[in-house]
Amino acid sequence: MRHSLCIFTLSLGWAGLAVALTPGEAAKRAPLPEAARHGGLLFADLNGDGHEDLIVSNPRQYGVYLYNPVEKKNVQWQRGWTEVLREGVAGDALTLPLLVDGEGKATGVVLDAGALKNAQGKVLMTRQELLRVPGPPSLSAEDSLKKLQLRAGYTATLAAKEPLAQDPVFVDWDEKGRMWVVEMGDYPFAPGEKTSDGRGGEGKVSPLQTGRIKILEDTDGDHVYDRATLFLDGLRHPTGLAFWKEGVFISAIPDILYARDTDGDGKCDQREPWFKGFTAGNPQHLVNGFSWGQDGWLYGANGDSGGEVVSVKTGRKVSLGTHDFRFHPDTGEFRLETGRSQYGKWRDDYGNWFGNNNATLGWHYHIPMSYMEAHPDKVPASIRTVLNPDVKVFTVSPPVKRFNHAGATHVLTAACSPMPWHDGAHDSLLICEPANNLIRRDVLDYATFPLTSSRHPDDAESEFLASADNWFRPTQVREGPDGALYVVDMYRMVLEHPEWIPAGITRGIDLRAGEELGRIYRIAGPPVKSGTPARALDPQSAMRSSIRWQRDTAQRLLLEKRDLTAMPWLKEIANDEALPQPSRLQAAWTAALLDESQRPALIRLLVSSHPRVRGAARVAAGSQDIHPDELAAWFPARVAPGAASSNLPVITRSDPDRARVVKEYLAKIATLEGNAERGEKVYQKACIACHQLGRAGVEVGPNLATVAAKPVEQILEAILDPNRAVEQRNVTTQITKKDGSILAGLIAAETPGAISLRLPGGVDLPVPRSEIGSMKTLPISLMPDGLESIVSPQDMADLLARLRKM
């Protein structure tokens, strides 16, 4: 079939007649893209789904837009021509043939059998090309290295690249100095895997489509890895590993398994599951780990997926729920831990634990589960706190169209792996942000409790590390055995999981582009510490080191061997006031783990020692008593519940009266000019009790910085029709107590002894489990209806102006 084109627009059924429309008539069906304002529109069902899609090409702009008939508020999928396959400025590298010229006259380009052809019938662009989503090209490892922008004084080199490393997400080093790399080659799909809505990997199976563990070696000591051995493949979405004795623990759903090389050839020949039952699903939200705890346990993150976990060694079954976890590498004991981190849970030198989740920079988990289990009668007001509500980032990569949350630009949306690190001057926290191709650095404030953080003073208007390469996807940054930082770059074109990409777009992109690529960078600079080569590691020297990996490895080796001959020098280090506190702390911990009789001495050392170290006394004490003055610090009257993943279930409810109010306000504020200064007063009057804006306010609902860039209609709906779409994490929980009284709020924390409800105004109310008769989830938001009674249209315009100022 051949279709003609006029200056205006045509509605072209794929197998039907063309119907001429004016731009105004076309816009009545759904809002038109900005590019359509200048003419050159053509409507046709390009993807064969029965809906007319839109091609735009004029001397100013171009675009190909699929029609989306389904609205999903939680990911900003709006009904209309909102699935953007390509768009840009006319004449750029991805431009379309012009449909109208500068005078608005048709150029003679027509759509014929799905292809754009000129007047002579020559094919200018095929249907397959129109449906393809073009992206920025990949770069060689050397060229991508040149795109890194680092803080002054630091340099970056390639420690490893493809084919030695492919799809890396996690690294660690064994005591021989070998780097072990976890490769998630089956991202985003393992063969045969599907999303919750039934979409799969489009039948593509690659030889690289498997999870793998590799061992990399630097044979000549030049900090460049030049040999790779495939230790183990065939894993399903591996996320992390940790060493113990002659093997490694590996997190790969649905298990945590233990794998060993028994004949010394570098390849696994023995493997067994230790823990089973972790929930499968989106590979960005799976069980992951591991971080060595000073208490001799290995700590892992929930991943937001949970599970019914069975320890093969003990037979005990534990419901993971909303908790993280730890396990003992000898006994197989599995215990719950505070928090629910998405990817990466790490500790500092003093035993403080940190995690995060997408739009949350970081949480400080300030109460260990062991204390709450030992004292179920004590009900903490909160178990974690947001370190810093400032989620703005300074992106240097070229802007590309997001597949969801298109308005979320220059803010954290994929924060992961919050890694404590001393940069030579400050106790810092490094946060990977793969969606924005950067690593952010905050400074931890140990003068507050729970801890808080703020932007590093050297990073006020830029990031510690940022790349102009859109394929740069940092998933982990950590200090290595030599004191340098190592950045793990998965290097993929598509980061977002297909679960959150419209189906029409997934058919036009290569979801696995970059599967054969991967880079690991070494970041060195003035603060880089002097580290003994790991293959010559001496536990006594390593325990005195300022490098955490050195101390952790020394402690692990001593515990593996139960080396009691180390006791004299461990006690010497612990009591040497000239040594740095982290060395004294870890030496004392190791001595207490080797000989239980040393635990009281450890507690006395910690309680009477440096203020930053005292917190570890709680964990060291176990069930023993500590002076009440020490305990009081663990129960501050302040978790605010941190922001969780935006990719959570959404409850929708339609209310015609609320929808009418939204429509009326939308029409009125379109004619009003907002004032940000007046908007600040509106925020303080109507919003500050439940929403943060910068450092002001209380975080009950979403941080307003994360919604500031959303379309006006969505912001008005959230304010005036709050029950229109409620994310699961924001629904109201109703508790009926045994005495008949009823409470309602958001779940701020769950502990063995209590449920803590966050009420409007930011008040946390702990409710002992012994007093709870029943609990249920209400499909409504805590946000009240009827705010139009105190927020006029002019107030709303001013508030929007204040939000846009972020």
Backbone angles phi and psi of 503, in degrees to 5:
-60, -35
- Angle ∠(256,261,265) on CA atoms, nearest 5: 145
Pseudo-torsion of CA 423, 291, 358, 370, nearest 10°? -110
User: Does residue 481 sit in the same domain as residue 621?
Assistant: no
| Sign, CA torsion 457/461/466/471 | positive
H-helix segments, 272-392: 369-374
Query: CB atoms < 10 A from the CB of 270, how many?
Result: 12
Beta strand 168-173 with 179-184 is antiparallel
Last residue in a domain, options 604, 632, 660? 632
Q: What count of residues does the chain have? A: 806
User: Does residue 91 sit in the same domain as residue 227?
Assistant: no
User: Does residue 112 sit in the same domain as residue 232?
Assistant: no
Q: Which two tokens stand for residue 674?
A: 């907002």
Q: What is the pTM of this model?
A: 0.76
- One-letter amino acid at 462 equals S
User: Does residue 379 sit in the same domain as residue 256?
Assistant: yes
User: Does residue 236 sit in the same domain as residue 352?
Assistant: yes
| Sign, CA torsion 624/627/628/629 | negative
| pLDDT < 70: residue spans in the chain | 1-29, 72-77, 196-199, 202, 401-408, 527-535, 605-654, 695, 706-709, 724-731, 779, 806
- One-letter amino acid at 323 equals H
User: Does residue 503 sit in the same domain as residue 559?
Assistant: no
User: Does residue 517 sit in the same domain as residue 541?
Assistant: no
| Sign, CA torsion 678/680/685/691 | positive
Query: CB atoms < 10 A from the CB of 644, how many?
Result: 19
The string of DSSP codes covering 381-444 is: S-SEEES----B----SPP---SS-TT--SB-SSBEEEEEEE-SSSEEEEEEEGGGTEEEEEEE
> How many structural domains is the chain composed of?
4
Assigned domain for 735 exists = yes
What are the distances in angstroms from CA 236 to CA 116, 186, 195, 211, 371? 43, 7, 15, 5, 35
pLDDT of residue 743: 86
Assigned domain for 54 exists = yes
Assigned domain for 771 exists = yes
Peptide bond into 243 cis (omega under 30): no
- Are 699 and 386 a contacting pair, CB within 8 Å? yes
> Long-range contacts made by residues 273-277, C-beta under 8 angstroms, separation at least 24?
273/312, 274/249, 274/311, 274/312, 274/313, 274/327, 274/332, 275/309, 275/310, 275/311, 275/312, 275/327, 275/332, 275/334, 276/309, 276/310, 276/312, 277/307, 277/308, 277/309, 277/310, 277/317
User: Does residue 457 sit in the same domain as residue 347?
Assistant: yes
Backbone angles phi and psi of 310, in degrees to 5:
-115, 130
Assigned domain for 688 exists = yes
User: Does residue 185 sit in the same domain as residue 106?
Assistant: no
Looking at residue 693, the DSSP 8-state letter turns out to be B
Assigned domain for 148 exists = no
User: Does residue 573 sit in the same domain as residue 453?
Assistant: no
How far apart are alpha carbons 461 and 456 in whole angstroms?
Answer: 10
User: Does residue 293 sit in the same domain as residue 395?
Assistant: yes
Last residue in a domain, options 131, 147, 173? 131
Assigned domain for 637 exists = no
Assigned domain for 30 exists = yes
Backbone angles phi and psi of 481, in degrees to 5:
-60, -25
User: Does residue 391 sit in the same domain as residue 275?
Assistant: yes
How far apart are alpha carbons 349 and 511 in whole angstroms?
Answer: 39
pLDDT of residue 11: 35
Assigned domain for 645 exists = no
**Helices 793-804 and 712-720, axial angle in degrees (round to 10):** 120
pLDDT of residue 659: 82
How far apart are alpha carbons 14 and 241 in whole angstroms?
Answer: 52
Last residue in a domain, options 524, 548, 583? 524
How far apart are alpha carbons 682 and 705 in whole angstroms?
Answer: 16
CATH number at residue 583: 1.25.10
Domain region containing 52: 2-131
CATH number at residue 787: 2.30.30.100
pLDDT of residue 648: 35
How far apart are alpha carbons 546 and 450 in whole angstroms?
Answer: 24
Residues facing residue 9 across a β-bridge: 21
Q: Which two tokens stand for residue 480?
A: 């290595």
Q: Which two tokens stand for residue 778?
A: 């209400």
